Every structure is written in structure tokens, then in C-alpha cells.
Amino acid sequence: MLLQGNLAANKKTFPHGIKALADYVHSKGLKLGIYSDAGYKTCAKAQPGSLGHEEQDAKTFASWGIDYLKYDNCNNGDTKPLQRYPDMSKALMQAGRPIFFNLCEWGDMHPARWGAAYGNSWRTTNDIEDTWDSMTSMADQNEVWAEYARPGGWNDPDMLEVGNGGMTNDEYIVHFSIWAISKAPLIIGCDVRHMSQDTYDILANKEVIAVNQDPLGVQGKKVRMEGSSEIWAAPLTGYRTAVLLLNRHAKDEAQITAHWDDIGLPAGTAVDARDLWLHKTLDTKFTDKMSFNVTPHAARMFVLTPLKSQMD
């Protein structure tokens, strides 16, 4: 809603205002995101957008203590994103508070090619749904733009559906694993107040989050596909490699083999393999390849570390 030309909190929903909410969220060690639109009205419920009021709204967001802005693309008078998004980018940089800027223009104008000049992440896809087909489709569309991701600027295949109930636990593990190796922003999309233990265990997996947050910042890609079997890989700091073995088949178990020449390891390299979902380092030392049976709609995720003797 608006108050004297400035955005204001709905008093029924936020009786103490957004600043009080931000302070509470920050006290829990979390960050607070907010939604606006690079148009005259938002996509849903026709709330005021920020088009033409970028500087004013950016200062408001900063004064409230906002950490993240999702900036949508509806009701824009048929103007192109590059006519609108730069203005909010400039306004945020002058607002006096670091605010992560997500360009949510649905991948329409290929924002991976230009988004880094204006934002911290950019949607490469339309809206995700809480289904296996939607989730894997978002992953496929996002992977195309892997070469454009870099520290400070990330491809965004939309929020996480983990915990919303439309997929199995194994499918949610696949979801979180792909987003992590893809260096996608990990935006929780479920109600954190009522999440199950299974959901918490997925979203709080520090080893998988560490792959997502690795300082090297290289987005993982599919390096081999055979039918419904896929191998994804990404280099990590410390000469390590993240590997995801994914079985997209709905019914059949698959034996999936990752070859070193596919995932970027030199021939003859022996490695320790850390299973990120079992939380243990496997006893076997692998050389040149590794094979595992993977159940339907499931994945195995590893970090491979060359043995110290080969690093000397």
C-alpha cells in the first residue's frame, strides 16, 4: 500500500511495520527479502510496483533493513527489461545498504547475457512448480547458461520447492543437489515454521550448501547423459570436484559411472570420495572412474579430493 507516496506496510498483516519484522528476522540469524515489480503494479493482487519510483522505493527498502529484492516483470507498459531494471540497480547502489538484487524477468530476454551489469542473480526460467517434471525442466533450462555464472552474479532457476509436499523425499534431495551444484540461489520456498525433520535435514545439509557456496563459483554442468542417467560436475577450490549422479528414470534403478575425463580430473588421479548425503568418506579410493547404482528419481552426490600423495 502507499502512504503519502511511499510504500507502507499493511497494518493488519504487519502491525509493527517492516522494520520491526526485519529486526526480528535478523535476530534469528536470517535475512529478509521483499518483493516488488519493474512495472506499475505487481503480478498478483495488483499492489503498487516500483516503475518510476525506483529511487524512492530503494531508500524505503534500505530504511526497513531489507537484504534481498525480488524484482518482477508484470504490468510494465510493454517496455523492455533493459529500459527498466538498470534504474532500480542504480537506486539500490545509492540507497546506503547492501541489498541483493534478483532480476525476475523470467529469462524472456536472456538475462544471463546482460544481468551481471545490473544485478546479483537473474531468473533464467519461468515459475517453478512443486512437481518432478517442472523441477527438472527448470534445471535443464538453467544449465544452458552455466558459462555466464560467476561470483557476484548467478543464474536463478527459481526458488526451492523442498518441503511443499508435491515430490518425494528422494526427489527433493535431487532438487536441492542440482540447485547446489548449479550455484543457484538457495531460496527456501516452504513454511519454515512447520517444516518436517526430513525437510530440515535437506535444507540444512551443510556439506551440500558448502558446494553451492564454494568460493570458486563455477556453475556445475551436465558432462555426460545416457538415456535417463546423467552426470553433473563442477570444480571446487582445493583441486576438488563435486559430482552428481542422477537417475531421471521413474521406475528403473540405474548403474551410473562418472569417468574422470568427463568430470575434469586427470587420468590416473586417485581420490577420496565424500558422500554428501550419507555424510561419510567412502573406504574405496577411486581412480579414473566411479560407479554406483542409483534408485529411480534419485541422486548420489560426492566431493572428490585427490590424495595428498598426488598433490606433492
List, by residue number, the catalytic residues: 72, 127
- Cβ neighbours for 94, distance < 8 A, ≥ 6 positions apart: 55, 58
Spatial CA neighbour of 56 closest among 101, 91, 8: 91
Spatial CA neighbour of 71 closest among 53, 52, 96, 49: 49
- Cβ neighbours for 221, distance < 8 A, ≥ 6 positions apart: 143, 146, 232, 233, 234
CA dihedral 194, 162, 123, 118 (to 10 degrees): 50
Spatial CA neighbour of 84 closest among 44, 46, 47, 57: 57
